[in-house]
């Protein structure tokens, strides 16, 4: 234990030294390009007040109130590693050839693809990875893709490994256990902290090291950079900082005070906590990881894979997820308030997203590992200074740290949540956002993030990938959302949006047609079936097809199972109607379009480049 502690501290000091050294080296020329703060939250469904949920997230809601938020954004696979590699390369899982955690490093298995941070680094940005950005291990070459993607080695919290396997959750008998739901006294944790708190502290340290606060004066628009005493201009190299938080990923280990925000009597069951009618067995996920906790009275071995979560634990799980979310909201708030304290908020693009959704009892499902919308849908927020914050009333501060406990302490649920910033000022904004910001209900995907951020920062926008893009380093299988952002914010643009993409696409692998012990995360050599899912505004249609894990061929045209959900009749995806005779024509047309794949759902630019339109409105009327 002592050796591990010494090693961890040595690693931290070495990382800090490299950070300071790199900071000193890169500041050589002035640069007016915007910075980027990229916030990734693990297993994060849109459980935000600004998305209409009864979750206390005042800091992220404050960000949303000065941003554009996309309400219908979806991951390409509901699993951490494939999703992250997908949106960080802007390629879909079949292109990165990663459908699990550890089978391959995409640069070796699929192609030497340029990543989002690498694109910024190659264009003169200082790029930093803090926490869980790439998934750890073989899929990121055991280095988080350093040095290709990052200017300095990626920072991982020193307490992560210690808290992963140790029994740290206090039980009613005073002993420690491996619980799924684990509110803790932070001071009693290893090193007196938690991994996500470590990540926040590192982010604050980085932002302070990059700060220009002491050598700037306020001018119109951006802060001006003052010359130093030796007569040379004070340098400013733009940064791309990615901050990846671990929670609310399992286990739900969070500071115990956040549990007080959610009295168990106020927690409601999921709206549809029952098994989906006519669901094919291959589409079912038995949430083995949830069953591992010593506080859940279910077998992790899955003797009965369809055993429902008892109502008591259903409510406790939802309570713990919400509490962990409020915890992360506070950590995000600490980073955002520091960004402003250090004089960097005025010229920093902020992106906040979840790597995929998380099922909280919907469809009798828990965790991710499926194509249900509750597993693929994520929050996606873009803050662009001077563009998305123009509806916000003028306040002295953009991101004062918000207090989630204000209403609890005052016992006044009717009061809005106050913010208390570093200067002691207070202002009020409701947890759902007094200023709603901009909202887009268009269908968007996480593969769209890379080209969007590049265009917002005025970097070269990756072109659309050709069909065979294995030898193409920089391209996208998504589309920039900037035309949508300009359209929603009513900002002049060369491109006008008339129609947007018609569908989003996700997929999930299975080793067998029936639930088994390895159903949720099969390794590549065990994948035998792939569920390809397409979602439009009217339907979600899925085909489960044979998949050859050696040559990656798919048996298109010969589905072993199908799913169809018609949103006008079934908005929560509770009844699979794919085999009903009255839907034969709908299934035929959707099957054809699914086979054509995502390329035929993208918007296209007219030759005069003045409008954006789609091909025909091909999905069924």
Report yes or no: 369 and 75 within 8 Å, Cβ to Cβ. Answer: no
**Which has more confidence, 610 or 38?**
38
User: CA nearest 245: which of 342, 125, 333, 340?
Assistant: 333
Q: How many angstroms separate the CA atoms of 485 and 67, rounded?
A: 10
User: CA nearest 382: which of 49, 120, 73?
Assistant: 73
**Cα radius of gyration rounded to whole Å, the chain:** 24
Q: What is the mean pLDDT of the chain?
A: 85
Condensed to tens digits (0 to 9), the pLDDT of residues 158-208 reads 987 766 667 999 999 999 999 999 999 999 999 999 999 999 999 999 999
Give exposure, 173-212, as e/b (b: 16+ Cβ within 10 Å): eeeeeebbbbbbeeeebbeebbbbbbbbbbbbbbbeebbb
- The reported pLDDT for the residue numbered 407 is 63
Report yes or no: 236 and 225 within 8 Å, Cβ to Cβ. Answer: yes
Q: How confident is the model at residue 491 (pLDDT cuts 50, 70, 90)?
A: confident
Condensed to tens digits (0 to 9), the pLDDT of residues 497-523 reads 777 899 999 999 999 999 877 778 999
Q: Which of 230-244, 299-313, 467-481 has the highest mean pLDDT?
A: 467-481
Q: How many angstroms separate the CA atoms of 456 and 238, rounded?
A: 14
pTM, to two decimals: 0.88
- The reported pLDDT for the residue numbered 231 is 28
- The reported pLDDT for the residue numbered 175 is 94
- The reported pLDDT for the residue numbered 276 is 97
| Tokens read off for 70 | 């996309």
Pairing of strands 348-354, 35-41: parallel
Which amino acids are annotated catalytic?
80, 135
Question: Residue 22 has what DSSP assignment?
Answer: H
Query: Is the bond leading into 251 cis (omega within 30 degrees of zero)?
Result: yes
Residues 6+ apart with CB under 8 A from 592: none
User: CA nearest 609: which of 508, 497, 442, 502?
Assistant: 497
Interhelix angle 449-456/80-89, rounded to 10 degrees, is 40
What is the CB neighbour count within 10 angstroms for residue 154? Answer: 24
Q: What's the number of CA atoms in the CB half-sphere (13 Å) around residue 218? A: 5
The three-point CA angle 484-489-492 to 5° equals 80
Whether pLDDT at 421 is above 60: no
- The reported pLDDT for the residue numbered 10 is 52
Report yes or no: 89 and 81 within 8 Å, Cβ to Cβ. Answer: no
| Tokens read off for 76 | 């390409």
Residues 6+ apart with CB under 8 A from 490: none
- The reported pLDDT for the residue numbered 560 is 97
Q: How many angstroms separate the CA atoms of 430 and 562, rounded?
A: 43
Report yes or no: 298 and 386 within 8 Å, Cβ to Cβ. Answer: no
Query: Is the domain covering 2-226+237-613 a CATH 2.20.25.90 domain?
Result: no
- The reported pLDDT for the residue numbered 300 is 65
Report yes or no: 542 and 579 within 8 Å, Cβ to Cβ. Answer: no
């Amino acid at each position: 234990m002592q050796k591990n502690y010494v090693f961890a501290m040595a690693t931290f000091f070495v990382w800090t030294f490299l950070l300071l050294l790199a900071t000193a080296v890169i500041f050589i020329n002035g640069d007016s390009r915007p910075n980027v703060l990229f916030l990734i939250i693990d297993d994060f469904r849109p459980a935000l007040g600004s998305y209409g949920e009864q979750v206390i997230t005042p800091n992220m809601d404050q960000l949303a109130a000065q941003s554009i938020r996309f309400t219908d954004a979806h991951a390409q696979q509901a699993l951490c590693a494939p999703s992250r590699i997908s949106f960080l390369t802007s390629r879909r899982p079949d292109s990165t050839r990663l459908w699990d955690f550890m089978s391959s490093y995409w640069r070796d298995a699929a192609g030497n693809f340029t990543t989002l941070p690498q694109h910024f680094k190659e264009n003169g940005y200082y790029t930093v990875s803090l926490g869980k950005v790439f998934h750890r291990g073989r899929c990121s070459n055991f280095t988080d893709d350093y040095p290709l993607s990052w200017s300095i080695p990626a920072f991982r919290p020193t307490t992560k490994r210690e808290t992963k396997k140790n029994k740290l959750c206090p039980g009613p008998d005073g002993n420690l256990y491996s619980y799924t739901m684990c509110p803790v006294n932070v001071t009693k944790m290893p090193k007196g902290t938690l991994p996500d708190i470590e990540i926040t502290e590192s982010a604050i340290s980085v932002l302070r090291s990059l700060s220009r606060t002491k050598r700037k004066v306020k001018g119109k628009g951006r802060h001006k950079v003052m010359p130093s005493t030796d007569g040379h201009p004070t340098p400013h190299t733009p940064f791309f900082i990615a901050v990846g938080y671990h929670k609310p990923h399992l286990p739900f280990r969070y500071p115990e005070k956040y549990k007080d925000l959610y009295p168990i009597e106020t927690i409601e069951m999921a709206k549809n906590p029952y098994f989906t009618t006519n669901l094919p067995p291959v589409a079912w996920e038995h949430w083995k990881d949830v069953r591992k906790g010593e506080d859940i009275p279910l077998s992790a071995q899955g003797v009965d894979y369809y055993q429902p979560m008892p109502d008591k634990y259903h409510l406790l799980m939802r309570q713990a997820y919400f509490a962990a979310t409020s915890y992360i909201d506070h950590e995000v708030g600490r980073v955002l308030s520091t960004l402003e304290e250090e004089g960097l908020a005025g010229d920093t693009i902020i992106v906040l997203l979840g790597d995929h959704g998380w099922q909280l009892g919907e469809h009798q499902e828990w965790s991710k590992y499926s194509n249900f919308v509750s597993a693929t849908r994520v929050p996606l927020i873009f803050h662009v200074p001077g563009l998305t914050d123009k509806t916000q009333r003028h306040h002295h501060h953009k991101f004062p740290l918000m207090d989630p406990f204000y209403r609890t302490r005052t016992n006044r649920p009717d009061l809005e949540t106050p913010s208390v910033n570093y200067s002691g000022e207070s202002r009020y904004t409701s947890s759902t956002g007094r200023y709603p910001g901009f909202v887009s209900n268009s269908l968007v995907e996480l593969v769209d993030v890379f080209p969007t951020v590049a265009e917002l920062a005025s970097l070269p926008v990756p072109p659309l990938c050709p069909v065979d893009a294995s030898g193409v380093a920089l391209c996208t299988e998504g589309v920039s959302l900037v035309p949508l952002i300009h359209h929603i914010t009513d900002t002049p643009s060369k491109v006008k949006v008339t129609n947007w993409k018609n569908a989003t696409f996700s997929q999930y692998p299975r080793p067998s047609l029936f639930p088994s012990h390895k159903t949720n995360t099969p390794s590549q050599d065990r994948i035998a079936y792939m569920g390809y899912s397409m979602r439009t505004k009217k339907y979600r249609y899925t085909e489960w097809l044979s998949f050859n894990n050696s040559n990656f061929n798919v048996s298109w045209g010969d589905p072993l199972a199908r799913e169809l959900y018609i949103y006008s009749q079934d908005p929560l995806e509770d009844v699979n109607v794919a085999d009903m005779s009255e839907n034969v024509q709908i299934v035929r047309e959707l099957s054809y379009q699914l086979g054509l794949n995502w390329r035929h759902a993208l918007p296209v630019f007219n030759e005069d480049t003045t409008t954006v339109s789609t091909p025909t409105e091909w999905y069924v009327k």
